[in-house]
Structure 1
Amino acid sequence: MTEPRTRVGITGLAATSALGRGTQAQLAGALAGAAAFGPVRRFDTGRRRVTAAATLPDASSLADELAEVVSEACAGLGATERAETPLLLGLHGHPDAGRSPEATTAAFAGELAQRSGLAGVARVYTCACVSGSTAVADAAARIRSGRSERVVVAAGYLVEPDQFALFDAGRALAADGAARPFSAGRDGLLLGDAVSAVVLEPVAAREVLAEVAGWGRAGDAHHVVRPDPDGHGLARAITAALRRGRIRPDEVGYVNANASGADGDSAEAVALRRAFGAARPPVSSTKSVHGHGLEGSGLLELVITVLGLRAGKLPVNVGHLGPDPACDVDLVLDGPRRAASPYAVSVNAAFGGANTALLVRAT
């Protein structure tokens, strides 16, 4: 006899990016295909090859932006419930690291938890572009196993000079000022602000915005920065998420891809074909409008995926110049497509060969 499982729901969410503040701004930008890239004004890019990113003009400190989204996501929780709820945080590092020995990621996370009235920090994730999605997977596992009654997951990145300089020096940024996922003629990624928070609880706890039905993680062990060209690791992560959610590949109606407009997009296309076979779900990458938010990307993309499912519309893949035979997937182009299924998968990949997949179901 199959054991009954605690179903995990998202009961609160909030996000800020260059598309604007709040969930409606994220959804409107993603559905309209309104790419938010422009010249960086936050710091001097005069010596850089590329000068564009997706930045919010009135962004405050990362600490303040994270505190704001956590507060918004937790609006439905009382003070006592917050005080019993741990925080999982995805973060590149303390913004003041190197200036003070006390400026550690643990200290930053602890201050955020205290400021937000949460019980404390269960874990901080600094695993690059899968930080937020890995945190969600761990939070869901904690709730499903009964180890936690409720978990807040937050992740954030604001475009700053150090990472911008590294990506620019490595010629990873798109010189033409546009991110073009899966497109012929794509020239690289563009960075973007990404600050988000979600509350995860058992489905029976209160009104649920979406169910986290499954999750999967896998490693490539192929190269320090390049993905496995055969897509094995990402395909395994997707397959694990579907298996955990007990659904077939042909039941998935949308994939929010990791694709950023870089060379690795073709490896992801191979992984999607390997995982879904003949099913070929519609695909887009919302990085094409809000940019690559590094540690904040996975959670922002999950939030937008949930918002799109709830609206019954799939986000547009922007910047497409023409088909690339190496990226043979069913792209959502020209305008939002009607969601034909309540299920979607949000996938992410990071340097070092880390891959994640989150399966969500609209409720």
Structure 2
Amino acid sequence: MAESAGTASPVVISGLAVLSACGRGTEPLAAAVFEGVPAFGSVTRFDVSRRRATVAAENPLVTSLVEELALVIADAGERAGLTPAERADCPLLLAAHAEPSGVRSAAYQGAGALAAAVAAGAGLRRAPRAYTAGCVAASSAVADAATMVGSGRAERVVVAAGYLVDADYFALFDAGGALADDGRVRPFSAGRRGLLLGDAVVAVVVESAAAQRNRGARAVAELVGWGRAGDAHHVCRPRPDGVGLARAIRAALDRAGLTPADIGYINANGAGSVMADAAESAALRRAFGDRATEVPVSSTKSVHGHALEASALLELVATVLAVRERRLPVNAGFLGPDEDCPLNLVREPNRETPTRYALSLNSAFGGANTALLVGAA
């Protein structure tokens, strides 16, 4: 069933920081998604000579996941204008599955231990919460953070997420035939051949609008709605009619008091899978009706890749950038229309639009679906 309760206080995003294969910071990410320049290249982090696919979106300058997460958390806090003491007192909600170099090591004790190490490295005093629910881990954390802030249980929350392309998950997706063997992600396109993995280390500060104003800080964006819904159709195949994702979208719209006509852009889950992209298109038709063929849609995974637990947070940042800069990310890799995906795909670079509200959508194995709705600050 879908989640759709209201909140007592407006919620904003007051700071964000990102590392991706496009570079460190929001500027390289913005340039890549608005111009539609993919960050994919030959994998160098581990041996792929015996794999079907040999391409991912890596950042060659990353150190360890714990260190990178500590850096983006500090950067997001600084950009939000938080003092070290204010940042240290924030709850941390972390979406991540493992330190790639330590997956098999005796020192690694699970996601909870990773979250504790990140909190300690970032100087956060409160016990962290870890999320490992696959591709909706980070969006679930954002929804929980917004609920905590909107209900008055916290003034502000740090949400962080991290994934660095690793040999284990690369092998798993490659063996299942999920990785695109032509080296490109082509969401909603005819001839699409699957997903490609990508690095992402991201942090955002979710805060009450009142606390942000009292500090004299500026909000980056409003977090006006969120919805979650499960359909449990299959362990890995999406429900073809998109009912679960449509319910999540409606919950986010209802929470914000908006209609499909208010939405100016959708950053779709769009992993490049034949079945998943068709199911998401069906969900958009179910939730938006005739508006589904009018609202601009793209998937930024076509540029930065799929970052698993961190993907939803990276895509939320890209969606915030679209609203803030009034430009639309390109749906890169497009070859031609697919009759199962009759959407208004963004294909031209640096397309300008006065987007006031935008959706960021994510779906995961097992039928988990989320929708995050942001507005211009």
Band the TM-score falls in, shorter-chain normalisation: over 0.9
Q: Is the 8 A contact 1:7 1:202 kept in 2?
A: yes
Q: Could you tell me which of 167, 170, 176 is aligned with 2:182?
A: 176
Identity %: 57
Asked if 1:63 corresponds to 2:69, the answer is no
Distance 1:238 1:337 in 2: 24
Distance 2:108 2:261 in 1: 50
Name the stretch that deviates more: 77-86 or 37-46: 77-86
1:182-261 alignment to 2 at 5 Å? 182-204=188-210, 205=212, 206-261=217-272
Distance 1:185 1:201 in 2: 42
Q: Is the 8 A contact 1:217 1:356 kept in 2?
A: yes
- Structure 1 residue 173: deviation in Å? 0.5
Name the stretch that deviates more: 328-337 or 148-157: 328-337
Q: Is the 8 A contact 1:34 1:289 kept in 2?
A: yes
- Structure 1 residue 103: deviation in Å? 2.7
Asked if 1:40 corresponds to 2:62, the answer is no
Runs of 4+ residues deviating >4 angstroms? none
Give the direction of change, closer, same or farther, for the CA distance of 1:4–1:355 in structure 2 (3 Å limit).
closer
Distance 1:290 1:284 in 2: 13
For structure 2, which runs of at least 5 residues remain unmatched after alignment? 1-5
- Aligned residue in 1 for 2:327: 313
Asked if 1:16 corresponds to 2:22, the answer is no
Asked if 1:302 corresponds to 2:316, the answer is yes
- Structure 1 residue 153: deviation in Å? 0.1
Secondary structure in structure 1 of the residue aligned to 2:278: helix
- Aligned residue in 2 for 1:325: 339
Q: Is the 8 A contact 1:88 1:121 kept in 2?
A: no
- Aligned residue in 2 for 1:128: 134
- Structure 1 residue 67: deviation in Å? 1.2
- Aligned residue in 2 for 1:277: 289
Secondary structure in structure 1 of the residue aligned to 2:264: strand
Distance 1:230 1:106 in 2: 36
Specify the code of the residue in structure 2 equivalent to 1:259.
G
Q: Could you tell me which of 338, 346, 356 is aligned with 2:360?
A: 346
Distance 1:258 1:88 in 2: 22
1:64-213 alignment to 2 at 5 Å? 64-75=67-78, 76-95=81-100, 96-100=102-106, 103-204=109-210, 205=212, 206-213=217-224
Specify the code of the residue in structure 2 equivalent to 1:324.
D
Distance 1:198 1:221 in 2: 30
- What are the superposed Cα offsets for residues 265-292 of structure 1, whole Å, 9 maximum, x if unpaired? 0000000111111223110000000000
Distance 1:214 1:294 in 2: 23
Asked if 1:26 corresponds to 2:29, the answer is yes
- Structure 1 residue 200: deviation in Å? 0.7
TM-score calculated relative to the size of structure 1? 0.97
- Structure 1 residue 309: deviation in Å? 1.1
- Aligned residue in 1 for 2:306: 292
- Structure 1 residue 63: deviation in Å? 1.0
Compute the RMSD of aligned alpha carbons.
1.3
Distance 1:230 1:156 in 2: 31
Secondary structure in structure 2 of the residue aligned to 1:300: helix
For structure 1, which runs of at least 5 residues remain unmatched after alignment? none
Q: Is the 8 A contact 2:116 2:128 kept in 1?
A: no
Give the direction of change, closer, same or farther, for the CA distance of 1:203–1:184 in structure 2 (3 Å limit).
same
Specify the code of the residue in structure 1 equivalent to 2:13.
I
Name the stretch that deviates more: 269-278 or 314-323: 269-278
- Structure 1 residue 121: deviation in Å? 3.4
- Structure 1 residue 102: deviation in Å? 5.1
Distance 1:102 1:197 in 2: 22
- What are the superposed Cα offsets for residues 25-77 of structure 1, whole Å, 9 maximum, x if unpaired? 11111001010111001111011111000111212111111111111101121
Distance 2:110 2:179 in 1: 28
Distance 2:188 2:280 in 1: 9
Asked if 1:359 corresponds to 2:373, the answer is yes
- What are the superposed Cα offsets for residues 174-208 of structure 1, whole Å, 9 maximum, x if unpaired? 01000000000001111111111000111122311
Q: How many residues align?
A: 361
- What are the superposed Cα offsets for residues 97-125 of structure 1, whole Å, 9 maximum, x if unpaired? 43216532212111211221213234100
Q: Is the 8 A contact 1:97 1:103 kept in 2?
A: no
Secondary structure in structure 2 of the residue aligned to 1:120: coil
Q: Is the 8 A contact 1:69 1:195 kept in 2?
A: yes
- Structure 1 residue 232: deviation in Å? 0.2
